[in-house]
Chain A
Amino acid sequence: METLEQIAARITAAMPEAKVAIVPNPALPGQSSLRLSHDCAVAVARFLRDDAALRLDYCSNVTGIDWPERVIKTTVKTKQIVDGVEKEVTTVSEEFQPGCLETVYHLYSMALKHGPVVIRMRTADRADQCHMPSLTPVWKSAEFQEREAFDLYGIRFDGHPDLRRILMWDEFTDFPMRKDYREPDDYDYEPTAHDAVVEKAARHAATPAQPFAGA
């Protein structure tokens, strides 16, 4: 199979308006991925599926990632000559990264027996603009998994044929896999509490308005 750089180059050659970024993976597997912009995502997905050299006809996995707002601190040590003496000066730069939700699709080719090619999409933010195009029209197997990402992360897939909750009940309003999810306080009986549960059980015991005091 071609490298990801070659695939990205061919996408931009076929569709000059498409914005495709390569996301490097510094970890050991080194499995880099392609990040697609919303406006061209479905067209690029169709290209990946139908291109004769790729034929990525099987979408094996769709998952979500929650990126809360965070400040990335990078420390750089440089040597400078201050008053004629060489000193090591550390400069800390802070970069603010806004929060967003991300989906990851793993694509394989059944026909040509290769893969995976990993593609990603990001929403604008985590609040009211958590929309992205659905790839279910391209890969039918994404339907339930996009519903799962909607259910657990709150990602709205535009163009999905049946976007409902799939694991939680319809009346549920939270998104349990988000980092800021607060679970209901039902720590009324924790006989073998450990780690974080000790604190939660103690907090429950200290709360006056509890439905069941463990009578």
Chain B
Amino acid sequence: MITSLIDEELKKDLREQGVVVTTLQEVYNWGRRNSLWPLQFGLACCAIEMIAAAASRYDLARFGGEVFRPSPRQADLMIVAGTVTKKMAPQVVRLYNQMPDPKYVIAMGACAISGGPFKQGYNVLKGIDRYVPVDIYIPGCPPRPEALLQGFIELQHKIDHQKLSGPGKASFLNADTPSEYPVPAFGAHDLEPPANPDVFHPPKIERE
């Protein structure tokens, strides 16, 4: 629900009479969610599905997400499509840091979420959420283009509900919230650190 000062029923009535009453927040979020520019990069087979979602059959342009930018400076959305190897992870974090706020991350597919089928491998990161905050997780191996579209629409809903002011305003408007995260270094045995404790908060698992 989009909260506004005007009564929703009254707004609806006015719109039927040809009078549009809105708020700055609504217009601002409407503009942002319908022109999400993804960063153009793919890491594995999920990228093929991402390309299919952008092409004519599924057509991400229907939702305003077709403008894939080859520069992180012009991108709002990072779709981590594929296996993040430990050798690639610092570059992915660096690309995230180079994106301007507000920015969003979609972890597409099992590998980007958790390492997927390569989770026990020696050179695969166990999920990109160890280093950057992830907004939408799309399971699948790889997820079909429809799944990516649904994840994209879920992200649009999330943007729609972000507040510009007052308590609970969007975190990117808060000057204290970091928009960059430390880039992990190549260590002798693993990436250092193996996860960023400020970002990575896995649920506690109760074992018998």
Contact = CB atoms under 8 A, between A and B. Distances in A.
B205 A172 contact: no
B55 to A, nearest CB: 32
A211 B195 contact: yes
B197 A211 contact: yes
A91 B190 CA distance: 48
B126 A189 contact: yes
Contact of B122 (A183, A188, A212): A183
B207 interface: yes
A184 interface: yes
B126 A186 contact: yes
A52 interface: no
Interface stretch (A112-120, A142-150, A163-171): A163-171
Given A211-B197, A214-B204, A214-B205, A184 B189 contact: yes
Contacts of A214: 202-205
B28 interface: no
Given A188-B195, A211-B197, A212-B195, A171 B122 contact: no
Interface residues of B, number: 24
A3 interface: no
B87 A190 contact: no
A212 B200 contact: yes
A162 B187 CA distance: 22
Nearest to A197: B120
Contact of A215 (B86, B204, B207): B204
A94 interface: no
B189 A174 contact: yes
A188 B203 CA distance: 10
B186 interface: yes
Range for the number of chain A residues in contact with chain B: 20 to 34
A181 interface: yes
Contact of B207 (A169, A189, A205): A205
B201 interface: yes
B188 interface: yes
Contacts of B201: 215
Contacts of A202: 207
B162 interface: no
B187 A171 contact: yes
A173 interface: yes
B102 interface: no
Contacts of B203: 189, 191, 214
Interface string A28-66: 000000000000000000000000000000000000000
A108 B99 CA distance: 50
Interface in A183-215: 183-184, 186, 188-191, 197, 201-202, 205, 211-212, 214-215
A168 B87 contact: yes
Interface string B174-194: 000000000000111110011
Contact of A189 (B186, B190, B193, B202): B202
Contact of A176 (B122, B194, B195, B197): B122
16 contacts: A170-B186, A171-B188, A172-B186, A172-B188, A173-B188, A174-B188, A174-B189, A189-B114, A189-B127, A189-B205, A201-B207, A211-B195, A211-B197, A212-B197, A212-B202, A215-B201
Closest 9 CB pairs of A and B: A189-B202, A184-B190, A176-B122, A169-B186, A171-B186, A173-B188, A186-B194, A214-B202, A214-B204
